Amino acid sequence: MTKFSIAIHGGAGTLVKGMMTPELELQYKEALTCALNAGYQLLEAGKSAIDAVEEAVKILEDSHLFNAGKGSVFTANETHEMDASIMDGKTLNAGAVSLISGIKNPVSLARDVMEKSEHVFLAGDGAMQFAKVHDYILEEDAYFYDDFRHKQWLDIKDTDSFQLDHATKKDSKFGTVGAVACDQNGDIAAATSTGGMTNKKWGRVGDSPMIGSGNYANNKTCAISCTGSGEFFIRGVVAYDVACLMEHKAMTLEGASNEVIHKRILEIGGDGGLIAVDAEGNIAMPFNTEGMYRASKTSNGEQAVSIYK
Ligand code: ASP
């Protein structure tokens, strides 16, 4: 049997250790462990990598701690606009949604786009109509309200600045969530979900729903989910760049992931990290920020849940 494995993230950023209380740290670690184990149990039961990444991301979306689903940040209009994507490395099928609101689990809508439409990427009103056709129940605004997120927004509302959860403010909570997995058949998949940036406007879309930038999976190389300053990750086509280094330069998963996060994205000014698996169940989780909420588990019995370096 192939080694199977899963890795998840809850955002990378400028984590200042002193800002984190032991209670909060515990809450983050518990949420990560819960999502990790839910995905791992599916893999253990012989389910597909795509099922495992969707399940893990759904659990992270249901937590107010992360900037995705329930915990999404506020836009300039005091609303929530969420983005998500999912990709199957076996078939190269992919689905993505952007600028959606009221949907409890954007990752599931992305999966439905992949499986129930002829398209890859649906955005805004059209994506919401698609959700309606597929009987999604919309949550009230109150479901997505979080005091801390609201305060983050109040601090910069009516200004031109928009805040990446993890860059400017040292006490900021962050971030985007994602999962990558390799199942017992050696098939791999990736999923990513986010609320984007606080005070974003003009229909700003980051890297998370963009196949090849914030999310990518191909059995031949790797499955990747990114977190960080989306504009740079789009310009660096980061997730696909890791796959390209593996395919065309014969680099290892670890080598290619490090090259992109510690060199190529830094060279254009980007900060963040990614999680990666290959079809042999290897895992890499590099980041160039002070920390990244992350966790991983393999069928060899290795398990890790960490925040800092
Ligand atoms: N990459 C996300 C975006 O730019 C943000 C994040 O990773 O927290 O929308």
Nearest to 217 by CA among 298, 176, 278, 281: 278
- For ligand 1, whether the C-beta of 13 sits within 6 Å is no
Identify the bridge partners of residue 272 per DSSP, sorted by sequence position.
228
What's the gap in Å between 238 CA and the centre of ligand 1? 13
**Which one is predicted more confidently, 169 or 18?**
18
Which residue, by CA, sits nearest to atom 4 of ligand 1?
Answer: 230
Domain boundaries, the chain: 5-92+148-303
The answer to whether residue 15 scores a pLDDT higher than 70 is no
Q: Residue 49: helix, strand or coil by DSSP?
A: helix
Most ligand 1 atoms within 8 A of CB, residue of 15, 99, 165, 194 to mutate? 194
**Which one is predicted more confidently, 22 or 190?**
190
- For ligand 1, whether the C-beta of 106 sits within 6 Å is no
Q: Which of 21, 75, 91, 176 is catalytic?
A: 176
Q: Kindly report the pTM of this predicted structure.
A: 0.94
Over residues 15-38, mean pLDDT: 87
Express each pLDDT in 112-162 by its tens digit. Answer: 999 999 999 999 999 999 999 999 999 998 899 888 888 878 888 777 766
What's the gap in Å between 164 CA and the centre of ligand 1? 7
What's the gap in Å between 68 CA and the centre of ligand 1? 10
What's the gap in Å between 49 CA and the centre of ligand 1? 23
Residue 21 and residue 149: Cα distance in Å, rounded? Answer: 18
What radius of gyration, in Å, describes the C-alpha atoms of the chain? 17
Average pLDDT, the chain: 92
Active-site residue, 159 included: no
Identify the bridge partners of residue 9 per DSSP, sorted by sequence position.
178, 294
CATH 3.90.550.10 fits 5-92+148-303, yes or no: no
For the record, the structure tokens of 139 come out as 């949550």
Over residues 236-251, mean pLDDT: 98
Where does the pLDDT of residue 164 fall: very low under 50, low under 70, confident under 90, or very high at 90 and above?
A: low
